[in-house]
């Protein structure tokens, strides 16, 4: 049986790239494991283990994945999901369940703790990369040190606590004249940066991007360009009635939409950002984009079942009617919309110029 290694990594920034030293060191550590003909013990269900697993797959390193599952059905589901998300083959990966007879009664946090302890305990070699001082991984590593486990520190880099600020505001006083003059001629789908994969890609492709670029490539501008390249907006069922997959549009003019572009600390992302694609309102409403029907919370039981994906509570604390929302049921195919019926919005003029030159579409920036 081949010797095994575990790479020790604390939780890192939300939007990694090769510009981050720990990403480069992680890649070096995985290649070291491969050169030494070791099996890498890793896991899923948390970002620090996910990026290690993805890096191993991208470098064709044999894997043993310890899955934090409750019972056999949970283990089977996690195994299936991991196989899809990381394109795993049985010849290069072995799946194991946490060996705890009380796993059915454990909370996710307890399962995660046991997973981390088990991986570190069972690995013949530990390779710290970026470990937060006095954090859980640091404490586990210290215990292993006392147990005289082989620890390779050649790839260790200082843990960086300070992260770049992701929240920002659009300066209303600096808006371009064109944005200020725009009326309600368009229904607009606004985009935002995502801290995770796009809905139509797997996790392996997301992390392939991380290890392939010195810039994070899932920004709002990247998402906008993807929509323009594929001419498709993938629908989402998140927060939608009866989990119906829809694409959302706003009837607000851009200068009014700015007040809704807010940082959402709970989700570590903006509500949406000054990047979007619009369709002439008359054309949009004639081709399946429908206005949301708002109701008072007290009238919820009176809402009919017909077209329930169009209904939305006006809200108790927040008046959602101010969003002037429109929806389209299912994925939205832009290839059927004539170019002259479209408009693209970007934060900066250079971005709008790039889009206009590449696509021939009319593009407008928030700033001159």
Cα R_g (the chain), whole angstroms: 24
Strand partners, 151: 126
- Per residue in 6-60, pLDDT (tens digit) is 999 999 999 999 999 999 999 999 999 999 999 999 999 899 999 999 999 999 9
Confidence at residue 100, expressed as pLDDT on a 0 to 100 scale:
61
Q: What is the CATH number of the domain that holds 128?
A: 3.40.50.450
In angstroms, the CA 101 to CA 107 distance is 14
Residue 18 lies in a domain: yes
Residue 343 lies in a domain: yes
User: Which residues, in sequence order, are CB contacts of 205 under 8 Å at separation 6+?
Assistant: 197
One domain for residues 85 and 209: no
One domain for residues 341 and 273: yes
One domain for residues 204 and 334: yes
Show the low-confidence residues of the chain (pLDDT under 70). Answer: 1, 99-103, 146, 162-163, 297-305, 315-319
One domain for residues 240 and 344: yes
One domain for residues 234 and 307: yes
Helices 47-58 and 71-86 sit at what angle, rounded to 10 degrees? 50
Confidence at residue 257, expressed as pLDDT on a 0 to 100 scale:
94
Quick one: which H or E segment has residue 127?
strand 125-130
Give SS3 for 275: coil
DSSP track, 15-52: S--TTSHHHHHHHHHHHHHHHTTPEEEE--SSHHHHHH
In angstroms, the CA 291 to CA 26 distance is 48
> In the listed set 151, 180, 206, which residue is the last one of a domain according to the structure?
151
């Amino acid at each position: 049986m081949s010797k095994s290694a575990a790479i020790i990594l604390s939780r890192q920034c939300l939007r990694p790239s090769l510009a981050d030293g720990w990403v480069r060191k992680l890649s070096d550590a995985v290649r070291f494991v491969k050169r030494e003909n070791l099996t890498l013990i890793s896991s899923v269900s948390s970002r620090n283990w996910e990026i290690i697993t993805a890096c191993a797959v991208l470098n064709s390193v044999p894997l043993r994945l310890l899955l934090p599952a409750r019972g056999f059905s949970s283990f089977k589901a996690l195994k299936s999901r991991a196989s899809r998300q990381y394109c795993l083959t049985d010849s290069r990966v072995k799946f194991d369940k946490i060996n705890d007879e009380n796993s059915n009664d454990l909370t996710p946090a307890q399962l995660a703790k046991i997973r981390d302890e088990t991986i570190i305990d069972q690995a013949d070699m530990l390779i710290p990369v970026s470990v937060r001082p006095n954090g859980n991984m640091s404490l586990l590593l210290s215990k292993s040190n006392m147990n005289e486990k082989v620890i390779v520190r050649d790839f260790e880099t200082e843990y960086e606590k300070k992260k770049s600020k992701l929240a920002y505001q659009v300066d209303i006083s600096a808006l371009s004249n064109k944005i200020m003059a725009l009326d309600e001629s368009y229904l607009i789908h606004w985009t935002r940066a995502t801290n995770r994969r796009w809905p139509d890609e797997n996790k392996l492709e997301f992390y392939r991007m991380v290890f392939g670029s010195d810039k994070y490539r899932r920004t709002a501008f990247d998402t906008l360009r993807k929509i323009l390249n594929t001419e498709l907006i993938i629908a989402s069922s998140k927060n939608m009635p009866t989990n119906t997959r829809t694409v959302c549009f706003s009837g607000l003019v851009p200068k009014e939409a700015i007040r809704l572009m807010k940082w959402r600390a709970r989700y570590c992302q903006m509500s949406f950002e000054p990047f979007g694609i619009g369709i002439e309102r008359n054309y949009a409403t004639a081709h399946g984009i429908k206005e949301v029907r708002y109701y008072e919370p007290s009238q919820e039981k009176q809402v009919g079942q017909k077209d329930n994906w169009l209904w939305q509570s006006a809200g108790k604390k927040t008046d959602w009617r101010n969003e002037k929302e429109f929806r389209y049921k299912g994925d939205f195919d832009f290839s059927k919309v004539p170019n002259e019926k479209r408009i693209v919005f970007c934060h900066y003029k250079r971005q709008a110029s790039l889009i206009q030159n590449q696509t021939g579409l009319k593009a407008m920036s928030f700033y001159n």
